[in-house]
A = this chain, B = another copy of it.
C-alpha cells in the first residue's frame, strides 16, 4: 500500500471529490425519499441530462464505468453477437472479462497504434453475417478519448458511424473521460456524441471529480426498453439513488464537468510543455486530453514514483503514463518537471 496524500499522476481516479459534488450530496441528505430512483433528485438529474443532450433519451445510473460499459453492451446484444473494439479498450483489458461473462458475447479486438479504430480494420471483422458458426457482429465500441489519451476527430467518428449503419451495427461510446474529449474538441457534450450518431454512451464523471456513479445514456431508445431489468439483474440498481443523482445534477448543471475537464487538460498541456524541454523524455502519443505517455530512462522510475506516484504503462519499453486531474495544481506540475530534470538529466 502506497500511503499517499500528495497529488500524483497515477490516475484521475486517485484524486478526490470536487467540493461542489460533496456539497450537492450534503444538500440531498434531508428527510426521506423513495429508494431506487423514484425521487426528486433523480428527476432533477434527468432534466439536467435532457438539458445537456436533448429530449427523447433514456438515462440510467449505475455504480461504475465497467458496469456502464457491460450493461450498455448487454442492451445491444444477444450472446451470439460479437463486439468490435480496440485492443487497448477498457472493455478488453481492464474489466476481467466482465463483458464475456455478462453478455456472453465475443470481443473482437483490433490492434492499433494510438487506441483508435479505423474503418478498414473494423471491416475485416464484418463478415459471416447469417452464418451460424460465426458470432454475429453487432456493436462497434469506441473510447473517446482513448485509453492512450488520443482523440477521435468528429470526421473519424462519422466514418465509423456510417460503417455501422451500413451493417446495421450499434455504436457504443465508452465516455469514461468524455468531458476531457469534449473540451479538447472545443464543443459541447451533445455535439460530440448524440449528433454524431452514437447509439449508447457510457457517461463517466468519477474521473472528473465525482465520487461514484456513471450514466448510461441511450440516444437510440430501441435499445433501452428492457434496461431497467438488465440493470437490476446486473446488480447495479442503487437503493439510495439520490446520492448519485445529486452528483450528476451538480456535475452537469453549473459547468462543473467543463471546468474540471478544462483544468485537467490544461495541466497536461503544462506538463507537456515542461517535458518538451527534457530531451531524454520521449512522448509516445499525441497529448490531446489529460494523459501523457512517454518513454523515460528506466533507472529513474522508482525515484520519481517515490515523490509523485504514477504507473508504468509498458515495462519492456520503459513507457510510463502520467495523468492529470481536476485537482492537479500548477505547482504540482512545476515540481514534477523540476524533479524530472533533476533525476533524468
Q: Cβ of A238 < 8 Å from any Cβ of B?
A: yes
Contacts of A135 in B (CB 8 A): 96-97, 100, 233
Contacts of A211 in B (CB 8 A): 25, 240, 243
Q: How many monomers of this chain does the complex have?
A: 4
Distance of A29 Cα from B7 Cα, bound (Å):
12
* A11 with B35: CB separation less than 8 A: yes
Give chain A's interface residue range (CB within 8 Å of chain B): 35 or more
**Which one of A51-59, A61-69, A147-155, A289-297 contacts B?**
A61-69
Known: A2-B34, A33-B4. A96 touches B243 (CB 8 A): no
Q: Using A10-B32, A238-B64, A243-B17 as known contacts, say yes or no to A100 and B106 having CB atoms under 8 A apart.
A: yes
- Tell whether, in the assembled complex, residue B134 and residue A96 are in contact, meaning their CB atoms are under 8 Å apart: yes
Q: In A199-255, which residues have CB < 8 Å from any B CB? A: 206-207, 211-212, 226, 228-240, 243
Contact among B93, B212, B240, B327 with A206 in the assembled complex (CB-CB below 8 Å): B240
For the complex, is A156 an interface residue (Cβ under 8 Å from B)?
Answer: no
Question: Given that A6-B32, A10-B34, A212-B212 are known contacts, is A97 also in contact with B82, CB under 8 Å in the complex?
Answer: yes
Most buried by B among A14, A36, A39, A327: A14
